[in-house]
Structure 1
Amino acid sequence: MSNEAQFDAALDLLRRLSPLSVSKNLDAITALVPDLTEDLLSSVDQPLTSARDKKTGRDYLLCDYNRDGDSYRSPWSNEFDPALDDATYPSDRVRKMEVEANEAFEVYRQMYYEGGIGSVYLWDLDDGFAGVVLLKKSVGKEAGWDSIHVFEVDERRGGARTCHYKLTSTVILHLGRESEAVGSLNLAGSMTRQVEADLVAESVGALGKDGGHVCNAGRLVEDMEGKMRNLLQEVYFGKAKDIVGDLRSVAPLTGVNRDRQAQRDVISSMGGK
């Protein structure tokens, strides 16, 4: 089997397994086929993990976009841990935007998540720059939300002030409940959506047009997260609730049957009149 066929087969397999075990499954697949390691790590979204910046004492999230070998760069101090001699850093311009974006999304995180951890990483491209916005909120082992928003900004595509933005968002969500009435219940899944837009980069704050880029990226992420939350609530969990309700009754069946019979009696008596 060719490397391309093995890669497609690995992605197909990972899509059918629980998102909560994706790290474990990735380790197993890469142990069998080590040549796929880099491609899989850069293509498969995993539940986010965190580390603490030793210099600032602030937590930050880890992903493939702030990784260099076995080291990860903190958005707060711009330093790798463990330290690297030949690490790659964003340019001064992009680093200033990264600092501004982290401050903006700290406010966003506090408003929408009321806790959790957030991190933003930016890097240079030939035609502009790109970045990733990471947000994580956990409630013990019972629930967790991980959102990964990767965006690209093409500054050469469009007019003098208009730039092309492309956003790819992934949400990994899991809910668990264990009680005598319900037993053990675990719901987990991931969703990916993409959007492209041509937006005007207005001059905002001390960064000027670059501040406008931060605002545009923030609006795109905010709108996408709102749409994905609504979709999860109304479609995915609404459908799951209907299916579980049809398959399993928490209340005693005798009481359910008695209520149904009373309902039928009322409907029959109304029909007779």
Structure 2
Amino acid sequence: SSIPSLSAMADKRLLAALDLVRRMPPSRIESSLEELVDIVPDLTDDLLNTIDQPLQAAKDAQGNTYLNCDYNRDGDSYRSPWTNEYDPPIDDGVLPPAELRRLEMAANDLFNSYREMYYEGGASSVYFWEPEGEGFAACILFKKTVETQKKGLRAGFWDAIHVVEMHPKDGGKAHYKLTSTIMLSLDTDHSTKSSLPDQGFFKLSGSMTRQSEETLPGTKNDEHLKNIGRMLEEMENRMRDSLQTVYFGRTKTLVNNIYRVGGSSLDKAKTELAAALQKELGQKP
């Protein structure tokens, strides 16, 4: 038999790593990625550029909160969209050209208002860069974290990562491609004073990625922002509905099926939970 090429072996290792991370809850992606980089250091760049990690918030020199990702990173430094400066400072950091920077500033103001309206808190950041060919690319980020414990909710976060590409077309039109990823993690607590250790706690986490493409009239910056804003709003609404009706709905049904008012023995509850989980997992394609 022939010996696989080094590139083929690397591809298989990368696919295996991506498949492994895909099965990890968002709260464990960062630690899992660090372990993978230690195991296969030659795939570090591929892993960092391919795997979406939970967003990390930072503050710039002026006290503005911004979100870090691969799109505002240069080496070990990250650029604030508010000041256009890197932290830690670097002399030759990649910056968007003047016209694209003006569009980036307008987009940050626009989606900051969107965040206040839809998220009622949290943080947002928008980063623009020049892709190959004509047009532009941008990454629009939102993060909402459970800052104070509420009844039944111990901790959690919602991260939204939207990457959009715009390429001009003939006739005053532009083609937009939007790739959106939602990462969600919730830790709930429904324990009581009479609960046994670890009883009543529930962890729910997962991620979802969707894409959409549209060709719309648009040549000016305000037209591009309007088009992107509408596409993003519609995408987030669809993904929220999908998470609520499918993901949470299925989980609620599962929990209701194994919960008995009045209580049963812990062993019986464990048996029912295992059976229900096995049944649910067996129904997946």
Q: TM-score, normalised by structure 2?
A: 0.83
Shift of 1:85: 1.4
Residues 186-265 of structure 1: matches in 2 within 5 Å?
186-201=203-218, 209-249=220-260, 251-252=262-263
User: Who is 1:168 aligned against?
Assistant: 179
Q: How does 1:3-82 map to 2 (within 5 A)?
A: 3-54=10-61, 56-82=62-88
Q: Distance in 1 between matches of 2:144 and 2:180?
A: 16
Shift of 1:150: 0.3
For structure 2, the residue ranges without an aligned partner over 5 or more in a row are 1-5, 148-153, 193-198, 266-285
How many Å apart are 1:174 and its aligned residue?
1.2
Mapped partners of 1:189, 1:161: distance in 2? 40
> Which residue of structure 1 lines up, in the alignment, with residue 151 of structure 2?
none
Secondary structure at the aligned position of 2:105 is classed as: helix
SS at match of 2:120: coil
Matches of 2:49 and 2:97 in 1, distance apart?
22
Structure 2 residue identity aligned to 1:30:
V
One-letter amino acid of the counterpart of residue 249, structure 2: G
- Name the SS of the counterpart of 1:28 in structure 2: helix
Deviations 1:53-110 (A, max 9, x none): 11x2110000000000000000000001111111111111110000000000011000
Residue of structure 1 in register with 2:163 after alignment: 150
For residues 128 and 151 of structure 1, what CA distance do their matches in structure 2 show? 11
Distance 1:152 1:249, change over 3 A: same
Distance 1:184 1:227, change over 3 A: same
**What is the Cα-based RMSD across aligned positions, in Å?**
1.5
CA separation of 1:249 and 1:175: change in aligned 2, threshold 3 A: farther
Identity of aligned residues (%): 47
SS where residue 230 of structure 1 aligns? helix
How far apart are residue 250 of structure 1 and its match? Answer: 5.2
Residue among 128, 141, 157 paired with 1:122: 128
Shift of 1:175: 1.3
Give, in whole Å, the separation in 2 of the partners of 1:252 and 1:9: 42
- In structure 2, distance between residues paired with 1:87 and 1:176: 39
Query: Whole-Å Cα distance in 2 between the matches of residues 95 and 250 of structure 1?
Result: 59
Note closer, same or farther for the CA distance 1:130–1:245 as it changes in structure 2 (3 Å cut).
same
Amino acid at match of 1:16: R
Encode CA deviations 1:3-58: one digit per residue, 9 max, x unaligned. 1111000001111122210000000000011111111111111111111011x211
**Residues 180-203 of structure 1 deviation map (CA, whole Å, 9 limit, x = unaligned):** 24611000000000000001116x
The whole-number CA distance in structure 1 between the counterparts of 2:106 and 2:33 is: 34
Question: Shift of the alpha carbon at 1:219?
Answer: 0.9
- The aligned amino acid for 1:98 is E
Partner of 1:265: none
The one-letter amino acid paired with 2:45 is: E
Match among 87, 93, 106 for residue 93 of structure 2: 87
* Higher mean displacement: 181-190 or 121-130: 181-190
Q: Report the 3-state secondary structure (helix = DSSP H, G, I; strand = E; otherwise coil) of the residue aligned with 2:180.
A: strand
Q: Which moved more, 1:177-186 or 1:229-238?
A: 177-186
Q: Quote the offset at 1:251 in angstroms.
A: 4.0
Partner of 1:258: none
Q: How far apart are 1:253 and its partner, in Å?
A: 5.2
